Amino acid sequence: MTTRTKSTTRTKPKKPAKGPTAEEVRILKEVQSLFSVLAVAPTPLTVPGGKGGRYELYTYFFVAERLKRESRDLQVINPAPGLTFLFKGRPSHASNDYSYCTFTNMAGEYFDLRNGVEYQGHNMKHEVDIAVSTPLDHKQVPTEKELRFAVECKYFAEQNGFKGQFRSQVGAIMDLTREHHAGTGCLLCGTRFQAYFASHHPFSTHKEFTQYLLSYHITPLFDFHPRGKSLPMARRWVHDCYIGL
């Protein structure tokens, strides 16, 4: 006599959906807080999707709020009065179809604060996440001649993606530099703008990361977020940017 055993199919328990981390919630709250300081009138704000987009938006408004303290006349420019602040979500030429800010330096000269603009280098175009430049025209593809301040923003789950990002930014900076010794990586011959790398990660334990960026005149800013230890340093580099315009 054969006894049959009834087979059972085990169902794997579903993993609970991951919500935003406490750090991401703080970033979103800080974005709203910074924007309320910048807005002349209550203007709806659309937060772009994705952690990277929200972190870029946070960095943009941080820089804008600090420039407002320095310049006192920073203005938020929207495509039309009363519209939502339209944050640029993809790289392209300078576009007035998206919102941006303008301000003046101590000499009364105007500058733009934009995001996601592609600048023409010697060999190709390069996106600058956050850029301070001389005033740009609609659909203009600017060059390093207009660029004064450039920030690369990276929000990673792990640090293992840093090396590729560092090499990418160094390559972009070299290609955007007016003059450099081809093949040697020397940027001492005429970099017109200040370059920064901003990340929410704590200060890197890899000293070679910092040394690598500094050797190409790129200032690393780790642990940059609403509760980060780099906030005083970040305030300082925006101040230095403004003074140097």
CA–CA separation, 121 vs 69, rounded Å? 32
12/145 Cα distance (integer angstroms): 58
pLDDT at 4 over 90: no
**Whether the predicted pLDDT of 1 surpasses 50:** no
Closest CA to 144 of 179, 182, 111: 179
Instruction: Dump pLDDT digits (tens) for 91-119.
Output: 999 999 999 999 999 999 999 999 999 99
Closest C-alpha to 166, from 102, 229, 213: 213
Which residues have a Cβ under 8 Å from the Cβ of 90 and sit 6 or more positions away? 116
Q: Which of 152, 146, 118, 153 is nearest to 132 (CA)?
A: 146
pLDDT: which is higher, 20 or 85: 85
- Could you give the count of Cα atoms lying within 13 Å of 228 in the half-sphere of its Cβ? 25
Local confidence band at 122 (pLDDT 50, 70, 90 cut-offs): confident
**By mean pLDDT, which of 18-32, 96-110, 148-162, 176-190 is the weakest?**
176-190
pLDDT digit string (tens) for 207-238? Answer: 778 888 888 888 888 899 999 999 999 999 99
Looking at residue 64, what is its pLDDT? 97
Please report where in the chains the tokens 């339209």 appear, as a residue.
86
Indicate if the alpha-carbon torsion angle 67, 68, 70, 73 is positive or negative.
Answer: positive
Q: What is the pLDDT of residues 177-188, one digit of tens each?
A: 865 545 555 544
Domains of the chain: 22-244 (3.40.91)
The whole-number average pLDDT for the span 82-96 is 90
